[in-house]
Structure 1
């Protein structure tokens, strides 16, 4: 492929991955977000591949995942019936999961067309680049009215974003984006320290370090939930390099050199800009309010933690504890017990039974991919930590990440599990002969 065509495909693929992982709504097509559009495209691709390959097999891992999602939906419907509620927030969760799967199917197709293969590292590369782009764009939108007007003329941006004076990009803003940033930061730390491809490529090292720094700093300004991923990412880096022992492993010397150079350049730039730009100073103090509070008073405290401390509300009767009230504690359903906290909202919706099934759902997905990709198993285990930590702040989930990996073919899973080492060159090139997301397990 000529270089200019490849560059175009890389940019297009990056946009499609952003449309998938950070869904937004185009003003030209009101009522349809980009995730749904990609899902429609994914369905068309799936039908085409089924007709072409006559492969109707279904991944056992995906089947079991849908079975657990179905069980969660069943419990939710029982709660709605018992409580005579019409709050269907999570009652149709399998449909939501299926939409993510089909959207991932469509997004992964673009990676396959651009690179003739799909790997864990390639997926993370696009997620990292896209997140860093959105973080930078949020700053440009905040500082330049012409850029803001251009973006808002193409994409729908909720009026509440301007009213709350929070930074945003198209499809990016508030806590859900912070959760996605957290996931991406953990993935970046994983490929930086575990991928053999990255270890051999200084350019990729620099790219990932830059993305990690940009998302950690600017992402926290967008949503402080990003701190969860930053902390876990640094933990992965410290453990894998031996830095926590103050002894650097010989095999990690190259990556530590790059890390040191990036710190030597990056820290002075941030400090300088913090001191000369009052707006950026306010943003940094907001994004890292907890750390400033810890330094000044010895206590990690933010306005968000103070507000969340008032939202820990629990059921007052046994039935609600067991099967819930059928209400998701949204302002529209029950303002009296409104809460942002995921644990409270899930338990009030379908009780401990529903919450347990939903928690098991994410534990299963993480363990499944930890088994499929043993090189990255610790990263998938950390996704369990991300899930249960962010539920202490917001009710959301990270299935869109797992959906991307469910869209791999058998051959692509093999490439990814071997980290695209020389051994894989003996394998036949990937030509989409099996159906992504509808394939037998090896």
Structure 2
């Protein structure tokens, strides 16, 4: 029983990291990410005292340097344009906060399980995401739950309610959709040949159920979830050999389970679609593109219409193309598109550095986790695809992978293999 309670607590902890939120009774600047970062700082300090040294990898040092350069470019953009919009001028602080908060999560997982790997992290993030999907449905269906959440949780829910969208606890709109997408891609990375053994059939079914539950329920909260679903399904088919001419017999079990589950899910969905008005509304919103295609012969949604017609806003002069306007916060340019907002804020100079930051992180971990190299390629693809719709970054997942490398419990101790040698940059003793 104690073990179950520990796991539940850890799922909640992971959720507060991945879906951070504020509190109505605390200052606006204090949210769960900041709280976890403060705990991570204390844990890290204790590890430093214990080990009496600090070691930082070349890779993390390079990532830090890129984050600093990006922040300086953004600050220069605000200075040149005479603005006080430091939305990304302080990005290096966000970078540090994600690392420290992620350290708290990884430290807790290691204390509970003794070891932390990609699979374990995926399971916990999937559990947290599924919990958020269920919470969103409960908040929407039961006024008492909504009142309780709104009384203590601050997450900008006034705007979410105004646009009549579902929200969980820290999970709403496109930010939630991007995080659900990350989890779907992580889940798809677990569908490997060893999973198709007969003895692992229960785990296979559980992972498939979790994947499609997050894809469906997550799309009700944010249709951006479908981006991760599409990338995840492509990764799943590629990784399991479904696109090859010759399919191994082990894969046939996977295909059979997948086909059976989709058939049953389709029948259940059709039943509730015809008998439950709320479910019908959920489905028509989540899969609006599909409904418009089959009913009107064209693939379109209200959000894509707005993106296509109104939101492609580009700089009108050379200076803005180079260094931007120094404006980002709010809806100053009437656009949500990430490419537009980043370039308008810090120009191509800042945007290119920001893009390099995510390319470096993805390629770094692809090289270090050869078994999961395509996972990081897909995460990189998600970054660039998501910017067509929303301005966000996914460093929060890379922060966890930087922390997961810590074998000694210290965020700044990583073993990097280059030509079968461990290369560490020693920053000195404490």
What secondary structure sits across from 1:48 in the alignment? helix
Gaps of 5+ in 2: 417-421, 423-430
Instruction: After TM superposition, give the deviation of residue 153 of structure 1 in Å.
Output: 3.5
Match of 1:409 in 2: 405
- Please list, as runs of the form range in 1=range in 2, the aligned pairs for 1:209-358 lying within 5 A after superposition: 209-245=208-244, 248-309=247-308, 310-328=310-328, 330-331=330-331, 334=332, 337-358=333-354
- Report the alpha carbon displacement of residue 195 of structure 1 after superposing the two structures with TM: 6.8
**Alignment partner, residue 425 of structure 2:** none
**Residue 55 of structure 1, CA deviation:** 3.2
Could you tell me the TM-score, scaled by structure 2's length?
0.91
- 1:32-51 alignment runs, 5 A limit: 32-51=30-49
Consecutive unaligned residues of structure 1, counting only runs of 5 or more, are 412-432
Q: Can you list the C-alpha shifts for 1:89-134, whole angstroms capped at 9, x where unaligned? A: 1001110010000010011112112111101001110111111111
Task: Please say if residues 76 and 91 of structure 1, whose CA atoms lie closer than 8 Å, have aligned partners that are also in contact.
Answer: yes
| Displacement of 1:199 | 8.8
Pair 1:101 & 2:99 matched: yes
TM-score if structure 1 supplies the norm length? Answer: 0.89
Q: How far is 1:83 from its partner?
A: 1.3
Question: Aligned in 2, Cα 1:437/1:5: closer, same or farther, shift over 3 Å?
Answer: farther
Query: Paired residue for 1:386, among 361, 382, 389?
Result: 382
Q: Contact (CA 8 Å) 1:199, 1:205: kept in 2 or not?
A: no
1:410 to partner: Cα distance: 4.9
**Contact between 2:292 and 2:298, CA under 8 Å: does it hold in 1?**
yes
Cα distance in 2 for partners of 1:439, 1:235 equals: 32
Q: Within 5 A, what are the aligned runs for 1:19-34? A: 19-31=16-28, 32-34=30-32
Shift of 1:159: 1.5
Between the aligned partners of 1:283 and 1:74, the Cα distance in structure 2 is 44
Question: Which residue is equivalent to 2:83?
Answer: 85
Tell me if 1:435 matches 2:410.
yes
Q: Does the 8 Å contact 2:165/2:221 carry over to 1? A: yes
Deviation of 1:38 (Å): 0.5
**1: CA distance, partners of 2:220 / 2:119:** 27
Whole-angstrom CA distance in 1 between matches of 2:191 and 2:198 = 7
- How much does 1:290 deviate? 1.0
Query: Aligned pair 1:399/2:399, yes or no?
Result: no
Counterpart of 1:407 in 2: which secondary structure? helix
1:430 equivalent in structure 2: none
Supply the distance in 1 between the matched residues of 2:197 and 2:67 (Cα, whole angstroms). 35
> Which of 335, 345, 363 is matched with 1:367 structurally?
363
SS in 1 for 2:393: coil
Aligned twin of 1:415: none
Deviations 1:9-61 (A, max 9, x none): 11011000000000012344443211111110101110011111223101222
Report the alpha carbon displacement of residue 280 of structure 1 after superposing the two structures with TM. Answer: 1.1
CA separation of 1:98 and 1:329: change in aligned 2, threshold 3 A = closer
What SS does the corresponding residue of 2:112 show, helix, strand or coil?
Answer: helix
